[in-house]
Homo-oligomer: A and B are copies of this chain.
Amino acid sequence: MTRTPQTLLHEILRDLARFGADSSGGVSRLLYTPAWREAHDHLAGVMQRLGLRVEADRVGNLYGRLDGSTPDAPVVLTGSHLDTVTRGGTLDGAYGIAAGIEALVWLRDTWGTPRRPLEVVAFCEEEGSRFPLMCWGSGNVTGMNDCREAGRHRAADGVTLKEAMEAAGFGRATQRESRRTDLGVYVEAHIEQGILLERRGKRIGIVEAIVGQRRLGVTVGGSANHAGTTPMDLRRDALAGVAEMILELEALAVRAGPPLVATVGHVEMRPNTPNVIPGSVMFTLDIRHTNEERLASFCAAVLERFATLAERRGLTLEHAQRSSAQPAPMDARLRDALQSLCEERGLSYQRMVSGAGHDAQMFRSVCPAGMLFVPSRNGVSHSPEEYSSPEALADGLEVLGGLLHRLAYQGLLDG
């Protein structure tokens, strides 16, 4: 098999990086924002010019399609997500879309019409950065989310998901429904966003499973008194209580050991004024583990400790689960196919767990799913410093192209 070209891949990544480019040198392309909308339009134009059949669905997932010679055969789908975190990088999500487009074009130009329909998708949202949910795009495709719930989700600035979606031109009844029942397999290429591949000197990561995760919002309430006139012993300082909770969470996570990770990534203070004792503090918890039971029991233990800490200081405590994902094993046949593709090409590989959530996990109960990683420099992601070498990006494209060839042209999983 000839090596796939990489011209398109780099062109698409370079162009997408412009949409949402921010002052940090990174990219902030949050769901349904003007930057996101421009990237969406740009990508639709690119795929159209390349001769793919382009269509967006009701929530704004964008597809490019090659029809198959067996039209009713289950669709082979690849892709990733178009949104980024705030001050993120240029590869998270974008790489899987760009590699998917390049792979489709290369397969068509080399091997002609596929047997099974072959599609690349740019999911509208995966990160959970603007609204308190994750994988809104792939969730609507797989039936885990429903477009009609969009009025219930609200961004920090008060805008509902429904309002944002409609402002971006989506959510109309005349647009194609998002739910797909014609999918045969989903395959995703992604940067690792961790340091394992780099540390082990491996070129491809073959994902065995994606961790399960819980995301919670916790609100701690005290008294917003004057910072100058309230003696230390008469304070009910919500932030001091939250500081204890943050350190307790860290200690519990370290004690639980890998693969458990726990993070407080978002904090909102009220009134957030230098000379006022914090009256209330809202923060998020992000907790992950490959084992569903251990994940659940850790979360319960954390919340119990938080309640004790809050009570000791006379603070109120509220918490609500914002999202939840079960651990998702990847399909064994796809893992084996990825391994044999690496072996054929002489690419070193690592079977591994994904600590990051991905769109691929949403296909758990819909169709087989597979995932490959390429190394991230220093393991850094969700940051303007996110980087993978051109060689690494080419390796991933090569293996993705090979897998899609086996799936759409050679009958892997057909039986």
Q: Is the CB of A273 within 8 A of B382?
A: yes
Distance, CA A270 to CA B88, complexed state (A): 11
Residues on B with beta carbons closer than 8 Å to the beta carbon of A65: none
Q: Is the CB of A263 within 8 A of B227?
A: yes
- Tell which of B223, B260, B262, B273 touches A129, judged by Cβ atoms closer than 8 Å: B273
CB distance from A189 to the nearest CB of B (A): 16
Q: In this complex, what residue of B is CB-closest to A269?
A: B267
A211, CB-defined interface residue at 8 Å: yes
Residues from 243 to 271 in A contacting B, C-beta threshold 8 Å:
243-244, 246-247, 250, 253-254, 258-267, 269-271
- Tell which of B232, B261, B271, B272 touches A227, judged by Cβ atoms closer than 8 Å: B261
Distance, CA A247 to CA B139, complexed state (A): 41
Q: Is the CB of B356 within 8 A of A229?
A: yes
Residues on B with beta carbons closer than 8 Å to the beta carbon of A121: none
A213, CB-defined interface residue at 8 Å: yes
Distance, CA A68 to CA B257, complexed state (A): 78
Q: Is the CB of A355 within 8 A of B229?
A: yes
A128, CB-defined interface residue at 8 Å: yes
Residues on B with beta carbons closer than 8 Å to the beta carbon of A276: 85, 263, 265, 382-383
Q: Is the CB of B232 within 8 A of A380?
A: no
Q: Is the CB of A86 within 8 A of B246?
A: no
- Tell which of B279, B284, B383 touches A225, judged by Cβ atoms closer than 8 Å: B383
A240, CB-defined interface residue at 8 Å: yes
Q: Is the CB of B250 within 8 A of A128?
A: no
Q: Is the CB of A261 within 8 A of B382?
A: no
Number of interface residues of A (CB under 8 A): 70
Residues from 114 to 159 in A contacting B, C-beta threshold 8 Å:
127-129
Q: Is the CB of B261 within 8 A of A230?
A: yes
- Tell which of B247, B254, B267 touches A267, judged by Cβ atoms closer than 8 Å: B267
A277, CB-defined interface residue at 8 Å: yes
User: Which segment of A98-106, A192-200, A390-398 sits at the interface?
Assistant: A192-200
Q: Is the CB of B247 within 8 A of A85?
A: no
Contact flag A226-B355 (CB < 8 Å), given A240-B250, A265-B277? yes
A188, CB-defined interface residue at 8 Å: no
A231, CB-defined interface residue at 8 Å: yes
Contact flag A263-B246 (CB < 8 Å), given A211-B228, A254-B232, A380-B225? no
Contact flag A271-B382 (CB < 8 Å), given A239-B264, A265-B227? yes
CB distance from A252 to the nearest CB of B (A): 10
A87, CB-defined interface residue at 8 Å: yes
A215, CB-defined interface residue at 8 Å: yes
Residues on B with beta carbons closer than 8 Å to the beta carbon of A260: 232
Distance, CA A223 to CA B253, complexed state (A): 18
Q: In this complex, what residue of B is CB-closest to A233?
A: B254
Q: Is the CB of A85 within 8 A of B239?
A: no
Task: Give the top 8 A-B pairs by smallest Cβ distance, nearest first.
Answer: A194-B229, A227-B263, A243-B243, A229-B355, A228-B355, A274-B284, A243-B246, A228-B356
Given contacts A195-B229, A226-B381, A243-B243, 7 further A-B contacts (CB under 8 A): A128-B275, A192-B229, A195-B230, A225-B382, A237-B250, A263-B275, A266-B272
